[in-house]
Amino acid sequence: MNETNLWLLFVIPAIVGALLLVIPMTARYLRGVISTVTAALLVYLAINLWGQQIEINLPWAGFGIDFQLRYYGFSQFIVTAITMFAFLITLYSTKFMVDKPKSNQFYGFLLLTEAMAIGAALANNLIVMLFFWEGLLITTFALISLGSEKAFQTGLKSFIIIGLSDLCLTMGIGIIWVQAKTLVMSEINLDTAGLNGVAFVLMMIGAIGKAGAMPFHTWIPDAAEDAPLPFMAYLPAALEKLLGVYLVARIALDFFTLTDGMRILVMSIGAITIIFAVMMALVQKDFKRLLSYHAISQVGYMILGIGTGVPIGIVGGLFHMINHAMYKCCLFLTSGSVESQNGTTDLNQLGGLWRQQPLTMICFVVAAASISGVPPFNGFVSKEMIFEGALEMGSAYRIFYVAAVLGALFTAASFLKLGHAAFFDKVDPKKPRVKDAHWTMQLPMIVLALTCIVFGVWHKLPLNGILKPALMESMDKVIDKGIHFEFGFGPLFWTTVLILTFAILNHWIGYKLTGKGLGASHHIYELPGLHQIYDLAEKQTFDPYVQGKRGGRYVVKGLFYIDRGVDWFYQKLVPATANKIAQLRQIHNGLYANYLSWSVGGLLLIILYFLLSVPK
């Protein structure tokens, strides 16, 4: 029975999603209702399965590629989280998407995405995981392309970037297959010497490419502008982080035993992502774009936390993952609420919304406080744990701690700016007053904001109830002693206080200098040195996709000539040969006697052959 439920968990959304794509429906709300009900059913199924251990093994393609699923502490955590986010966002979309073009396909792909994500989290065979992982790539592309006119280009960009990182993942899996001689995820255990190290790096690229860490992040800010908003809350904010970081954790904890060098590599990626993305976020002037850079920056924390290899860092990294999914999802939903009521997310045109959209404002404040690490919200707890993890590494690794602290400082600063500009700044008197969004859009935001508070104040609950069982298996390999999930109001607490004080001070200075909430980061933008870098970044100089496209021009030229050659082969050479050979058919002149003579000739030859080869 439980096995059936496990199957249903990803078969139902796949089937319903596919049906929604093909069934033409004119009713405006019916699709939304069907997908919401389906998503709710999946939440119920996931909760029903909670706490069980299920393994499914079915022969599939042979050669060790079997259809293997495993439901245990870790995957149950990811799967349940996926179903819940999917439900909230589907509910949110019923109103948000109703009059958008192509909303008919949106729900179908939403559910297909959920099916793929659940499948990827459940998979216990690397090939099965890869199957669902690539499925996710396709639905991601489809969902982005449903947005504005430019969305197709952005979709293509995301497709190529994620596709490349997935290619690395595939190669990594190939090497693992050779090295470990198995594809069963729960049986792989390698060191990182030699070829194994290559596999580790390739797998890691695949995982962080999905999670959106640098340098695989560049499509996310573009998608924030072009893709339908629920997509942003759904994939880059929630599901991709869940899956990407899940895989990072599996790779770093289960598949490989890391050396210090590898650890530093992973942590460096985390630290670089934190700093650079948050600096970009600081100067953004669009609500959604700013959020999208934070979605990148926060991945850095998770990777940094897991990369420490210190228990509290790992737990903190994963806790940060789920926290981030909640508050970033909530933040994107508030931006959607602002967009649907005001028609824009350009911060220059927004302001004073706290009077008109009080509930949205409250949800925003809670989520922003969480991401900024204000006690007692959840982001504070997980960030503290990551700080502590970075500190426990020893004094040689202090730089990562500094990076994390700096990241936190700028995160707080940019959210002070964002909130100030969008909700509290002076209103343009000509701008029409708006009402707050529909309840189906507010409910998901409220739920997420409340969870942010619950997970912060009663953090022992998720730490012991969710993360402990999830990491039980992997952590045994990391330490032999008991796992300590505690964190205290030690000196680190005062670090946070210091960070927040600095952030507020910085905001106050910026506000005084420009007189606008939006201008609070202007003095940082104008800093000598930084200014030039920002200019280059805005010209997309640092976007590997854009640079790759520029470099690709020569490749394209070469391919053009090859193509001409192939054309010549098919359009000139082949028809010419075909014509020559076609003349052969003249020998089929349709005369029965002719055919008969061939046959008899053949018969004689056969008899001759047999007579010659008869053993004497």
Partner 1 sequence: MLLAYILVPLLGAAIMPILRKIWQKGTDSVPILVTVYQIIITGWIAYQGIVLNGSLNLERWILDQVLALRLDGLSLVALLAIGLVSFVTVLFSLRYPLDEDRRPGYYALILLAVTGMNGLVVATDLFSMYVFLEIVSVASFILIAYQYDEFGMEGSFKYMMLSAVATVFLLVAVALLFAITGGVSFGELAQGVKTGGPVVFISFAFIFFALALKSGMMPFHGWLPDAYTASPAPVSILLAGIVTKIAGVYTMIRLVLEVFGFNSVFMNLLLVVGAVSTVLGAFFALGQKDFKRMLAYSSISQIGYIMMGLAAGTPLGLIGAVFHFFNHAIFKSLLFLNSGAVETATGTRNFDELGGLAEKMPVTGTTSVIGLLSTAGIPPLAGFWSKLVIIVALWMAGFKFFAFIAVFASIITLAYLLLLQRNVFFGKIKQGLEGIREVSPVVYWPAIIMAAITVFSGILFPLVYDKLLNPVNSLLGLLAK
Residues that bind partner 1 (CB under 8 A): 59-62, 574, 577-579, 581-585, 588, 590, 592, 594-596, 598-603, 606-607, 609-611, 613-615
Looking at the Cβ atoms of 555 and 606, the one nearer to partner 1 is: 606
Looking at the Cβ atoms of 562 and 614, the one nearer to partner 1 is: 614
Angle at alpha carbon of residue 206, lines to 35 and 226, rounded to 5°: 50
CA atoms within 13 A on the CB side of 80: 19
Structure tokens at 307: 């990369």
* Closest CB 86 distance from partner 1, rounded Å: 28
Q: Please, is 210 exposed, middle or buried when counting C-beta atoms within 10 Å of its C-beta (0-12, 13-18, 19+)?
A: buried
* Closest CB 600 distance from partner 1, rounded Å: 8
* Closest CB 272 distance from partner 1, rounded Å: 41
CA distance 233 to 292: 10
Looking at the Cβ atoms of 40 and 65, the one nearer to partner 1 is: 65
The C-alpha torsion from 79 through 82 and 88 to 92, rounded to 10°, is -150
CA distance 136 to 113: 6
* Closest CB 603 distance from partner 1, rounded Å: 5
Q: Which of 46, 65, 30, 207 is nearest to 136 (CA)?
A: 207
Looking at the Cβ atoms of 528 and 590, the one nearer to partner 1 is: 590
Looking at the Cβ atoms of 402 and 596, the one nearer to partner 1 is: 596
Angle at alpha carbon of residue 270, lines to 264 and 273, rounded to 5°: 135
Looking at the Cβ atoms of 498 and 600, the one nearer to partner 1 is: 600
Looking at the Cβ atoms of 135 and 389, the one nearer to partner 1 is: 135
Q: Which of 480, 479, 468, 478 is nearest to 51 (CA)?
A: 468
Cβ atoms within 10 Å of 214's Cβ, excluding its own: 22
* Closest CB 575 distance from partner 1, rounded Å: 8
The number of angstroms, rounded, from the C-alpha of 79 to the middle of its chain's C-alpha atoms is 15
Looking at the Cβ atoms of 464 and 571, the one nearer to partner 1 is: 571
CA distance 20 to 8: 17
Q: Please, is 167 exposed, middle or buried when counting C-beta atoms within 10 Å of its C-beta (0-12, 13-18, 19+)?
A: middle
Radius of gyration of the chain (CA): 29
* Closest CB 140 distance from partner 1, rounded Å: 23
203 φ, ψ (degrees, to nearest 5): -60, -40
* Closest CB 609 distance from partner 1, rounded Å: 6
Alpha helices in 487-591, H assignment, sequence order: 491-514, 522-525, 530-538, 544-568, 574-582
* Closest CB 337 distance from partner 1, rounded Å: 43
Looking at the Cβ atoms of 134 and 225, the one nearer to partner 1 is: 134
Q: Which of left, alpha, beta for 194 (phi over 0: left; psi -120 to 50: alpha)?
A: left
CA distance 158 to 155: 5
**Is-contact 128 119, C-beta < 8 A?**
yes
CA distance 554 to 350: 44
Looking at the Cβ atoms of 394 and 590, the one nearer to partner 1 is: 590
* Closest CB 597 distance from partner 1, rounded Å: 9
- Please list the helix, strand and coil fractions of the chain in percent, rounded to the nearest 5, in that order: 80, 5, 20
CA distance 393 to 207: 24
Structure tokens at 490: 């030690």
Looking at the Cβ atoms of 4 and 579, the one nearer to partner 1 is: 579
Looking at the Cβ atoms of 193 and 603, the one nearer to partner 1 is: 603
* Closest CB 590 distance from partner 1, rounded Å: 7
* Closest CB 430 distance from partner 1, rounded Å: 53
* Closest CB 67 distance from partner 1, rounded Å: 11
